[in-house]
Structure 1
């Protein structure tokens, strides 16, 4: 794939960055303070965070590191404990060939009695030829045992693709990911497929969303980093949009839990972002989220990254200070999520 097809994120951001255009309304921060019983940032300089709570009650954490060269894991009995938990490097990039650059956005999932990590990587000689790759571990503890490279997860097109997220619904396993669709004037849209197993897609691969609103197209035309939570008879899919600076924000897709998720018409897209930068709390570019629950097993927790400042020198991808943050969130009377604003540090 040529750089003409997918503009490199290393290029100068196109157009005005609309400083201040996507910020939470003044006063919103006060209502959000009660959502923040955790230390923030939870883990510094860890972007694209993914936290899963296993059936044994332990939390497992992984994320992108600023060097984009390795995959790390932490584990703790409590969410707050992830801040000081030992960090283990479970895999390191290749020095040549495939999986040698841009090791991005790992996600850890337990499937069929094994652990899997889905992540993005590029070859050493073509660092923007980013694709989805998979690691597997048969040990009951992902911090032990050995991680085996299971190869590239193949999608319908051999184009820029990343941010794989898997979930189950009504007995079927699905994968949602971000990819550049040939012929479209964007960087990435969101695509959905059923899975035949943890390593294989099956059946049609449908487009769920493409950047269409102005707030999804600032700097780059991006939909990426999807995450799914099911509540109140609906399937909610968050995603992130625009460049990875202060304009980065979260959007939302919603489907009825009884509907056919593989029918694009089942999904409704919110016309406004649902989680944005906040001048009042001093947190910018919130996004690439995941979901977990608090120690009580019931309270929903939003996991995301953000920076504690707006202005960035150079390419935002080279600025290391996207920090992992967590905060509780609630639900509106109509059953939709209320993420509030990024809480203060």
Structure 2
């Protein structure tokens, strides 16, 4: 069988003369399937929020000075998502600083981002909203619509939207100038920026697990169970303590959201700290579904180390959950950092070609003094790099390149590139391919993000067959003129 496979591969290679001409099937089983991911999916991400539209996931989180949106079709690869500065507040206003917990909602064909902000004094935190009429929230103009508040005009954060029985409501966390306790309120809305009538308190900290740090109920998030009952998952205790956790409110069947007695609170938290998992203070969450709509997922933030602190930031994590017979969610325990988790169902999976038999054909230069050699680019080690020469006779953009022999013609859907740590990261990378290491077909210039320790995927418009590829760094992310890369490879998509 081995001899037969080699013979078929040889015959196929001989019959294929043009790049991209898929004339016959080639045995290509020497691949690694990327069917898992690990948490955290993002090294930052306080107060994460996700919404879905037309196969895209839109993500945002607290950044303090502005509203930023991220777009991806693979939520498990959130670190690679394209970002867009949606809205930056003007200076000197009541909402110029401390923009917290943004949420993106589509309402009546328009996009809205709700957020809380102040003028630099926490006691002045209130809720606000901006509007965008573009079908794509990553495009168009965001217009400030104003403050979203009730007549009491009290301290308010963490606004979210509930649509129920043809009525729109806002839920939020509020108190007296930000002093404890913080309660959860609800009020009716006449349009996406106007609260009408009086607010009603539907939750206040009553249990010991809601009072670590301070008695706080905040971050309400709407969740509908399979029977379409209204649930509210909220955060209890101070976000800065390890015991920050998630609690659950439930609106009784056919209940009135504005009637506090129609809401019940679960006596125990539904998602809590796990030191074994490296999940301290898990809370302030959101929800989404897998691409195929068969799975429910939670996104939340947690700290990887205990005891809070400014150097122990909150990072974004995701995991799937199931439903219990009583219609409440079973979130389980936070998944352990680095634990392999199955990707959301319906994600188009990649198969990475194994590079054991690959070879470097040529290169412009390499950094010999520091042993950062060309063959390090395909050694399957992210901690070893190829860097163009800078100790002696340094080379500059774009006077450097490297070419790789994959050993035989392969059907390729894209390239896998990993940046090196530190400086000298590549920003623009030109790629060309060949079947004879003589005539080269340029595929264009590709943008690389300024991140390290993760694969970046450069997808091709269509499947292309070739044996050799050449990488030419064009520009960099900093002023260092001798670029470096950690790894380079190719992938194909898994057949459905």
TM-score range, shorter chain: 0.7 to 0.9
The 8 Å contact of residues 38 and 327 in structure 1, kept in 2 or not, is answered as no
Aligned length, in residue pairs: 301
Q: What is the correspondence of 1:23-42 to structure 2 with a 5 Å cutoff?
A: 38-42=37-41
- Which structure is higher in RCO with an 8 Å CA cutoff and minimum separation 6? 1
The 8 Å contact of residues 181 and 189 in structure 1, kept in 2 or not, is answered as no
What is the aligned partner in structure 2 of residue 203 from structure 1? 197
Q: What is the correspondence of 1:8-157 to structure 2 with a 5 Å cutoff?
A: 38-54=37-53, 56-65=54-63, 68-124=64-120, 126-157=121-152
Q: Deviations over 1:121-154 (max 9, x none)?
A: 0014x34310001111111111111111111112
- Which structure has more strand as a fraction of its residues? 2
Runs of 4+ off more than 6 Å: none
* 1:336 paired to 2:336: no
Please list every run of 5 or more consecutive structure 1 residues that lacks an aligned counterpart in the other structure.
1-35
What is the aligned partner in structure 2 of residue 223 from structure 1? 217
- Tell me how far apart the structure 2 counterparts of residues 285 and 312 of structure 1 sit (CA, whole Å): 9
Equivalent of 2:182 in 178, 183, 188:
188
Change beyond 3 A, Cα 1:215–1:88 = same
The 8 Å contact of residues 73 and 87 in structure 1, kept in 2 or not, is answered as yes
* 1:288 paired to 2:293: no
Equivalent of 2:317 in 321, 325, 340:
325
Question: TM-score, structure 1 length as denominator?
Answer: 0.83
What is the aligned partner in structure 2 of residue 246 from structure 1? 242
- Tell me how far apart the structure 2 counterparts of residues 137 and 322 of structure 1 sit (CA, whole Å): 29
| SS of corresponding position for 2:336 | coil
* 1:171 paired to 2:166: yes
- Tell me how far apart the structure 2 counterparts of residues 271 and 326 of structure 1 sit (CA, whole Å): 25
The 8 Å contact of residues 79 and 295 in structure 1, kept in 2 or not, is answered as no
- Tell me how far apart the structure 2 counterparts of residues 189 and 215 of structure 1 sit (CA, whole Å): 15
- Tell me how far apart the structure 2 counterparts of residues 319 and 105 of structure 1 sit (CA, whole Å): 20
The 8 Å contact of residues 150 and 197 in structure 2, kept in 1 or not, is answered as no
What is the aligned partner in structure 2 of residue 160 from structure 1? 155
| 1:181 CA displacement | 5.2
| SS of corresponding position for 1:83 | helix
C-alpha RMSD of matched pairs (Å): 1.9
| 1:37 CA displacement | 5.0
| SS of corresponding position for 2:106 | strand
Change beyond 3 A, Cα 1:37–1:302 = farther
Change beyond 3 A, Cα 1:261–1:84 = same
Equivalent of 2:255 in 259, 267, 289:
259
- Tell me how far apart the structure 2 counterparts of residues 319 and 212 of structure 1 sit (CA, whole Å): 31
The 8 Å contact of residues 186 and 211 in structure 1, kept in 2 or not, is answered as no
